[in-house]
Amino acid sequence: MLPVPLFHARVQVSLRPSVLDPAGEATRAAAGRLGVEGVRRLRIGKAIEVELEAPDPATARAQLELLSDRLLANPVIEDWSLDVREAG
C-alpha cells in the first residue's frame, strides 16, 4: 500500500482591517521607544503550521480551507490566507 501523501501548510490569520488592534498599537509605540521611528502601521496576527495527511492536493486544500474558515480564524473579525505544499 502506498503511504498517504503528507502536506505542509501555513495558515496566516490577521485581524480584518476594520478591527482595532490595540496590542499592535502598543507594540508600535514600543518600536518608537526602541529608536525605530518609521513604523507607521503594525498589526499582530497568527501563523499556524499544519501537517496534514490527504489522498491528493485538492482534498488537502479543501480540508485546510475548512479548518481555516471554521476553526483557526473567526471570519467575523479575521481574514486568513493559506500556503500549502506537498512534503517530500
Partner 1 sequence: MTIGIVVFPGSNCDRDVQWALEGCLERPTRFLWHEERDLAGLEAVVLPGGFSYGDYLRCGAIARFAPVLEEVRQFAAGGGPVLGICNGFQVLTEMGLLPGALTRNRDLHFLCEPAPLQVQPGACRWLQNYGAGERITLPIAHGEGRYQVGGEELRRLEGEGCVVLRYAANPNGSVGDVAGLSNPGGNVLGLMPHPERACDPQTGGTDGLRLLAAALG
Positions that interact with partner 1 (CB under 8 A): 18-23, 26, 71-72, 74, 76-77
Q: Classify 60 as helix, strand or coil.
A: helix
Q: Which is nearer to partner 1, 23 or 36 (CB)?
A: 23
Q: Which is nearer to partner 1, 13 or 65 (CB)?
A: 13
Question: Under a CB-based contact definition with an 8 Å cutoff, are residues 16 and 77 in contact?
Answer: yes
Q: Which is nearer to partner 1, 39 or 71 (CB)?
A: 71
CB of 35 to partner 1, least distance (A): 23
CB of 80 to partner 1, least distance (A): 12
Cell of 12: 496566516
CB of 76 to partner 1, least distance (A): 4
Cα–Cα dist 11/68, whole Å? 7
Give the side-chain half-sphere CA count within 13 A for 37.
0
